[in-house]
Amino acid sequence: MISIDLLAQVIAEQNENFLQKQLISREMAIPIPSNQILVVSGVRRCGKSVLIRKSLPNDAPGLYLNFEDPRLVDFEAADFPKLAQLRDELGKTSILLDEVQTVVGWEIFARSLHEKGEKLYITGSNASMLSRELGTRLTGRYKQVELFPFSYTEFLLFKQLSPGEESFETYFQSGGFPEFLQSQDPDYLRTLLRDILTRDVAVRRNISNETALIRLGVFLSSNVAKPFSYARIGSLLEIKSVRTVIDYCDYLAESYLFDLIPMYSPSIRKQLANPKKAFCVDPALASANSLSFSKDQGRKLENYVYLHLRRSFKEIQYFQTKDSECDFVVKWNEDIIGAVQVCWDLNPDTLHRELKGLRAALDETQASQGVLLTWNQEDVLDGIIVLPVWKWMMQPASQFFKIG
C-alpha cells in the first residue's frame, strides 16, 4: 500500500505534466459513453491517454494517474478508495487510469465506480490482461477501442503536409509514433522496442530469459511480411522448446507490437499448421531494430498496407498456393470481401506474377474486389485497379471495400 500523501503528490505532479502535453488531432473520434467505462488499448506510446483527454470537455480533464510511475510500485487494489477521495477533494468529475493493468484487481474498483454512475476512462497496452479482466467482471459495462500510431492522413495533419509521393516518403521512413516525430531522436525507436519487450512482456509474464525475448523481437523486426514457422525460429534463436517460441510470439502480439497472420484456408486446422507472417505495429520501428542490411523496401511497404487494413478489419490473412501468392485477403462477417496485392514496382518481370496471384486469390475466395498497390503507379489492368499506396490510404480501407 502507499500513503494518501504520496498518492496526492504523484497525482499533482502527473496532472500538471499531463495538462501540458500537446493535444493531437486523430481521425478516431471517441464517443464518450454516458453509462459505460471507456477503454482505449494499443501499443505503448501511441497516444492513448492524450486521445481520451482531447475527447473530454476542456473544462473537465478529470483526475489522471499513470501507474508506470515508479513511486506507485506498491500501489494495490486497497489503495483505490484513496484515489476516489482525492478526486472528490480536487473537484474532479472523472478518473483516467493510464496503464491500469499493472495493478492486480483494478477491475473491482472499475466496477464499483460504474455501479455508482461515476466516470472512468482506462488505457492499457496488454490485450490479454485487459480482455481477461474486462471479461470477468465488467462484461457489458465498457466500450473498448484500439488506437494505433499515426495513419498516413493523421501524419499529414500532424506535420501539416499535403498528400503525395513526397510526404508519403517522409511517412514511410519516419512511421507514426507521435513522440518520435516530434523529437527525431535516432535512439527513440530502439529504446521503445526494448521497453515494450521488457516492461510489457518480460515483467508482466515473469520471463527471466529477456535475451531470448529481445532476440525474437529483433528477428521479427528483421523479417516482417516473411512466412515463418515456430520450429524454424526456435532453431535459429536456440530456443529449445517450440511451445516457448509460440508463447513468446503470443506475448508480443498481446503487447500490440506484432500481429501474426495465418495463411488463408477454409480449414482452421490448416491455418494453425501453416506458416505465419508477422507485421509490426510501426514499420519504422521495425526498420530501426532490424538486422537486415538489405532493407527490403517492398516488405516495408507491405507492412504499411497491412496496418491500413488492420485499422478497419481484424481478420486478415495471406494467400498462397503452389504457383501463386497474394499478400492479403480480408474477411468480414465470415466472408472474404477483398484481396490486396502489394508490389513496389510493376514492370515486365513482375506484372504477370502479381496479377496472377491477385486473380487466384479472388477466384479461390470468391471475393468481390481486388486492388494492386504500388509505390507510385496508377492504372487499370484487365479490370484490376492499380493505385499508389499513398493515394489508397487517403480513405479508410472499410470505405474502399464498401462496408459500413
Identify the pLDDT of residue 148. Answer: 97
Domains parsed from the chain with CATH numbers: 4-147 (3.40.50), 186-295 (1.10.10.10), 298-404 (3.40.1350)
pLDDT at 274: 95
Q: What is the per-residue pLDDT for 343?
A: 97
pLDDT at 45: 95
pLDDT of residue 294: 60
* Whole-angstrom distance, CA of residue 295 vs CA of residue 274: 26
Contacts of 348 (CB under 8 A, 6+ apart): none
Contact 110, 37 (CB under 8 A): yes
Of the candidates 305, 356, 361, which has an alpha carbon nearest to the alpha carbon of residue 336? Answer: 361
CA distances from 295 to 58, 165, 291 (A): 44, 19, 9
pLDDT at 293: 60
Q: What is the pLDDT of residues 255-291, one digit of tens each?
A: 999 999 999 999 999 999 999 999 999 999 999 999 9
Residue 59 has pLDDT above 60, yes or no: no
- Res 60 pLDDT > 70: no
What is the SS3 assignment for 185?
coil
Q: What single string gives the DSSP state of each residue in 94-130?
A: EEEEETGGGSTTHHHHHHHHHHTT-EEEEEES-HHHH
Q: Quick one: pLDDT at residue 58?
A: 67
pLDDT tens sequence across 205-238: 999 999 999 999 999 999 999 999 999 999 999 9
Beta bridge partners of 144: 39
pTM of the model: 0.95
Each residue's pLDDT tens digit, 81-105:
999 999 999 999 899 999 988 898 9
pLDDT at position 404 is: 58
The grid coordinates of residue 112 equal 464499483
Q: How much is the pLDDT for 32?
A: 72
Q: How many residues does the chain have?
A: 404
pLDDT above 70 as % of the chain: 98
Confidence check: pLDDT of 299 > 70: yes
Residues 372-400 as b or e (16 or more Cβ within 10 Å = b): bbbbebeeeeeebebbbbbbbbeebbbeb
With vertex at residue 45, the alpha carbon angle to CA 90 and CA 177, rounded to the nearest 5 degrees, is 135
pLDDT tens figures, 121-171: 999 998 877 777 787 788 889 988 999 999 999 999 999 999 999 999 999
